[in-house]
Structure 1
Amino acid sequence: MPQPLIIDGTRLHFRTDGDPAHPCLVLCNSLGTDLSMWGAQADALASSLFVVRVDTRGHGQSGTGDAPFGIDRLGRDVIALLDHLQVERAAVCGVSMGGLVGQWLGIHHPQRLTKLVLANTAARIGSAEGWQARAALVRSEGMDAVADGAAARWFTPAFIEREAATVARMVDRLRAQNALGYAACCEALAQADLRAGVAAITVPTLVIAGEHDPVTTVDDGRWLQQQIAGASLAAVAASHISNVEQPQQFTALLHAFLLQ
């Protein structure tokens, strides 16, 4: 395992799987999750790719650092991680907030990317007022205030019933998140609006949308696909965290796109 990465005194936790000589794939988690959300994809792809999973700043075992910060800080963390691993170029796949990080990288650092996968995301997610209210809520009441309703935002009712243990494990991890780190990322999302920039993305891009996603809809995914020249769109029968709800379909899409 490579040495830990410290950025301006803040620890960025990550995990690598596979051979560093293989093409690199960086996986960026969604708000309130950690790098464990990518277990199925890492297991399936590590034989062909050098898979790098990162706990986004403020999540999992990564530090929060100075707040407030924006999506640009989260994107620069990925660039610092690539430098740390001595990876010149990598594919990046992100879900939701991680997809916004991917968009920022595609706009500002296309020379570091080979391909881009934007899953269950949009160029603008929610409203500034909504994110600021959520940040204030967890700062005052802690993570229970958002964890109790998370399953319904993340997964379809059928998946919640069928995979109760998986859902419970992810909700427990959300409940254990650092409230200040979560709030700081909510405040970053409040300011994140990439609608004016995504048309500049030239990296080969796959957009993945969840057919039952109430947060970032298929229409949001279609808008991204229409803005990014040459991008393709795939819909999966899932809600917001589609790589967990439909791991085989999601991984097959990644495999076909990244290794073709």
Structure 2
Amino acid sequence: MTARLACTWYGLDDVPVDAPVLVLGNSIGTNQGMWAPLIPELAGRFRVLAVETRGHAGSEVLPGPYSLDELGQDFLALFDELHLGTVRYAGLSLGGMIGMWLAAHAPERVERMALICTSAYLPPATNWIERAETVRAKGTGSIADVAAGRWFTEGFRAREPERVAAAVAMLEATPDEGYAACCEAIAGMDLRGDLPRITADTLVIAGADDPATPPSHAEAIVGSVPGARLQIVPDAAHLATLEQPEAIGALVVAHLGGAR
């Protein structure tokens, strides 16, 4: 059963009607606000579709656990509903995992993609199951401090407390069941065998200081996806789109192209 996904279009009035569609996939515990600093640049080149993953923001919250297959099928159902053929894709963390699933299972739908601060396999599963249990019992707010410590470098947290607080507010607004069930999807995820089937032109971006999905995870993806390239961004932890938006935006635009 697919879930109804909330989404927002950007750039429809700013680019030609035949400009490529760029789909954005959010990380676990955030919403399309994690792309906000990049939207002005992206919307000047693409028809941008920011999608909220199942269980997040305005998307449908079905009872968990979820699987990555289900999350990917949600996106395909949305593409069909909107009559989208081939798209370009950028996803961070869970959004990147969904992007890899799409590119492996529906290669005709993804032409190019940028995978940001993500992983094809993120054990141990017990950590994700325990986190799901905590959130169901105590709410997403109970893990806010830990999340902020993984999302941003210490220097950024000291310099930009308001931006960190805004990011944490996204987490606290995420439905408890949606977050927990997506944790279970990550617990059961193993995309390593799918990566060699990906034909999309792929750029993998890692934050040099990311404790959640370190650069070694990006290197593993690059080593298995034919023709993939790696870019490591300095002074960035996990939510690199918020910590280093100019660097991430430049890399995404250079790789995915778009109207000019």
- Give the structure-2-normalised TM-score: 0.94
Which one of 71, 75, 90 corresponds to residue 74 of structure 1? 71
How far apart are residue 147 of structure 1 and its match?
A: 1.2
Question: What is the aligned partner in structure 2 of residue 244 from structure 1?
Answer: 242
1:224 aligns with 2:221: yes
How far apart are residue 17 of structure 1 and its match?
A: 0.6
Structure 2 regions of 5+ residues with no counterpart? none
Matches within 5 A, 1:25-36: 25-36=22-33
Which one of 96, 101, 104 corresponds to residue 98 of structure 2? 101
Question: What is the aligned partner in structure 2 of residue 47 from structure 1?
Answer: 44
How far apart are residue 222 of structure 1 and its match?
A: 1.0
Which has the higher mean CA deviation after the structures are superposed, 48-57 or 137-146? 137-146
Measure, in 2, the Cα distance between the counterparts of 1:40 and 1:21: 24
1:16 aligns with 2:9: yes
Which one of 115, 120, 144 corresponds to residue 117 of structure 2? 120
Matches within 5 A, 1:81-160: 81-160=78-157
Task: Note the alpha carbon deviations across 1:57-105, whole angstroms, 9 max, x for none.
Answer: 1111112124222111111111122122211110111111111101101
Q: What RMSD, in angstroms, separates the aligned Cα atoms of the two structures?
A: 1.3
Measure, in 2, the Cα distance between the counterparts of 1:79 and 1:11: 11
- Give the structure-1-normalised TM-score: 0.94
Structure 1 regions of 5+ residues with no counterpart? 1-6
How far apart are residue 189 of structure 1 and its match?
A: 0.7
Measure, in 1, the Cα distance between the counterparts of 2:146 and 2:128: 16
8 Å Cα contact 2:204-2:218 kept in structure 1: yes
Task: Note the alpha carbon deviations across 1:126-164, whole angstroms, 9 max, x for none.
Answer: 321010000011111111221122111100011111111
Question: What is the aligned partner in structure 1 of residue 254 from structure 2?
Answer: 256
Measure, in 2, the Cα distance between the counterparts of 1:240 and 1:49: 25
8 Å Cα contact 2:63-2:177 kept in structure 1: no
* Other structure's SS at 2:4 match: strand
1:215 aligns with 2:203: no
Greater relative contact order, per chain length (Cα 8 Å cut-off, separation 6+) = 2
Measure, in 2, the Cα distance between the counterparts of 1:211 and 1:241: 12
1:183 aligns with 2:176: no
How far apart are residue 21 of structure 1 and its match?
A: 2.8
Question: What is the aligned partner in structure 1 of residue 170 from structure 2?
Answer: 173
Q: Displaced runs of 4+ in structure 1, greater than 4 A?
A: none
Measure, in 1, the Cα distance between the counterparts of 2:6 and 2:80: 15
* Other structure's SS at 1:60 match: coil
* Other structure's SS at 1:243 match: helix
8 Å Cα contact 2:198-2:225 kept in structure 1: yes
